[in-house]
Structure 1
Amino acid sequence: MSAPATALKEWDAQCSLLTSGEVSVLVRKGGIMETHDGFEVERRSFLLYPTFLHQNPAELKPEHSARLRPDPDPGRIHLPALAEVVAVHKVESLEAARALEPWQALSADAIERKFHYRGRPWVHALVLRVRPLLQPLVLEETPDMLGCVSWVPLGELDVTAGEGVLDEAELQARAAGIEAGLRG
């Protein structure tokens, strides 16, 4: 199967948690080099791009801190999985943003900081179906891949992804729980 020509940069620890099925949600706001509107969901299917830049133990829930590790192969990117967006929620109340805590890896304080980042009170919550790659995909990191950006174009790649880390019933139950939590 031909892979999306785009990858989403996310902390290595979060990619690991997504790929194991422990979490199914990413809470995103935007990075230093994002547009003035912040993070946008540019693709509905993309590769996960684990990054070690800016990983912060204080931003993860304590039970996930063991996932933090130094980069085992500097200069090379090990892409673990294909992610497919099941739902996107723009969360515009801090109470609703806090309701995401059980479904994702960030601490409550980290969610609140993201929510208020740049004086714009909102975050995006992405519910993801994650399908590990059957054959490892390792790319040399190029200058075009560097920087504080969310989306990285990768060109044409052929990858084969396996089944989702969660069966469809479990994923849909999580998606419904997230939606219910956001409604309050």
Structure 2
Amino acid sequence: MVFSIKEWDAQCQALTTARTALLIRKGGIMETHGGFEVEHRQFLLYPTFLHQNPAELRPEFISMLRDDPQPGQIVLTALAEVVAVHKVETLEQALALEPYQALTAGAIERRFHYRNRPWVHALLLRVRPVAQPLVLEETPEMLGCVSWVPLPEIRIEAQESVLREEALTQLQEEVGGILRPQA
């Protein structure tokens, strides 16, 4: 089975254009009591338009906000592979990740404290465009505030990563340095 992860369209655009490679996740309101977990190491990016908030995007990403170009359909343009995942349990470390992704410090802090569970996940992703965008009808099973959406069996042909391996390795080292436990 193929899975997708719901993420704001603006963030999907930032990932697919190599402007970021890091996502900070907490989970949707319909997640299990434990919250978001990295259940899959490879998934399609499922752009969502619901709840996108310009006040929670850093200024350089606001121009990526747009209305849904194809309501009722999902346009899947990229495959993401998890390079590294970190459970970030201090607000100071979570806020230090702000320059590496699209959310504002305020949005990171709000997600960090969401449901009075102080943590977020930081996912470093290798993003590869699919050769041909996949357009699917959005079904009732795909709706709701959940992170993971199973998709019908589809064939995915992914291209080269949008970010060179050297840049991804450097980013992994920088993020790892921020998140390494302090002695």
Q: Please state which band the TM-score falls in when normalised by the shorter chain.
A: over 0.9
Is 2:107 the counterpart of 1:110? yes
Query: In the alignment, which residue of structure 2 is the partner of 1:181?
Result: 178
Q: Encode CA deviations 1:93-113: one digit per residue, 9 max, x unaligned.
A: 000001111111000000000
Structure 1 residue identity aligned to 2:68: D
Partner of 1:5: 2
Decide which of 41, 46, 51 is 2:43's aligned counterpart: 46
Matched, 1:88 2:85: yes
**Aligned counterparts of 2:121 and 2:161: Cα–Cα separation in 1:** 22
Residues in 1 aligned to 2:176 and 2:53: alpha-carbon distance in whole angstroms: 28
Unaligned runs of 5+ in 1: none
RMSD (Å), alpha carbons? 0.8
Corresponding position: 1:33 with 2:30: yes
Off by >6 Å, runs of 4+ in structure 1 = none
Distance 2:99 2:153 in 1: 36
Answering whether residue 163 of structure 2 is matched by residue 166 of structure 1, we say yes
Of residues 10, 19, 23, the one that matches 1:22 is 19
Q: TM-score, normalised by structure 1?
A: 0.96
Matched residue SS, 1:179: helix
Q: Is the 8 A contact 2:77 2:132 kept in 1?
A: no
CA distance in 2, matches of 1:87, 1:117: 23
**Residue type at the aligned position of 1:180:** G
How many correspondences in the alignment?
181
**Matched residues, percent identical?**
67
Give me the TM-score of the superposition, normalised by structure 2.
0.97
Name stretches of at least 5 consecutive residues in structure 2 with no aligned partner. none
